[in-house]
Amino acid sequence: MIRLRPMTDDEYAEYRPLLDRAYADEMVQAGEWLPDEAVGRANENHAEMLPDGVATPGMLLLVAETDADGVVGRVWIELEHRGGPEAWIDDIEIDAQFRGRGLGRELLAAAEQVVRERGISRIGLNVHAWNEVARRLYASSGYELTSVRMRKSLD
């Protein structure tokens, strides 16, 4: 069973470069950014969104743990997204060695409960079209499509 706790400053210092790299890789794979600029853009984006790291107002940076395995993942939640009455999951991930055991679904449910406990009745997230595993998880957890972006390569 997953439990969530606040991320420490030391954990954040380890997490941030991994977050930047993962986001950069996703944006390159999605065709949004060029590889040589991606990590820098991700770093700038995250520095703007999290100017005070784990102490940034309105942001929750949480670590997921189990009794058997210790730390198994992380989730970053905005408690107010774009000025609206909904929370937003900016990042959610189970570490690679713990995947395939249902922990992603547990982490998602635990994140939703944290939001619910704060009186917020909606939560959203973004998932890239190529990420079939995540899309299936979110759909089977009750998340609905709210927009679709499309692109055509003219090469």
**pLDDT per residue over 50-78, tens digit each?**
999 999 999 999 999 999 999 999 999 99
Cα separation, 146 vs 3, whole angstroms: 29
In a domain, 67, yes or no: yes
Q: Among residues 5, 142, 14, which one has the least CA distance to residue 66?
A: 5
In a domain, 26, yes or no: yes
What integer pLDDT is reported at residue 148 of this predicted model?
A: 86
Cα separation, 132 vs 44, whole angstroms: 28
Tens-digit pLDDT profile for residues 75-131 = 999 998 877 779 999 999 999 999 999 999 999 999 999 999 999 999 999 998 889
In a domain, 27, yes or no: yes
Average pLDDT, the chain: 94
What integer pLDDT is reported at residue 84 of this predicted model?
A: 74
Domain count, the chain: 1
**Residue 7 pLDDT class (50, 70, 90 cuts):** very high
What integer pLDDT is reported at residue 153 of this predicted model?
A: 84
In a domain, 153, yes or no: no
Q: Average pLDDT in the 141-149 region? A: 90
Query: Are the CB atoms for 130 and 29 separated by under 8 Å?
Result: yes
What CATH code is carried by the domain that includes residue 118? 3.40.630.30
In a domain, 49, yes or no: yes
Instruction: State which residues form the domain around 50.
Output: 3-140
- The two tokens of residue 39 are 């990590």
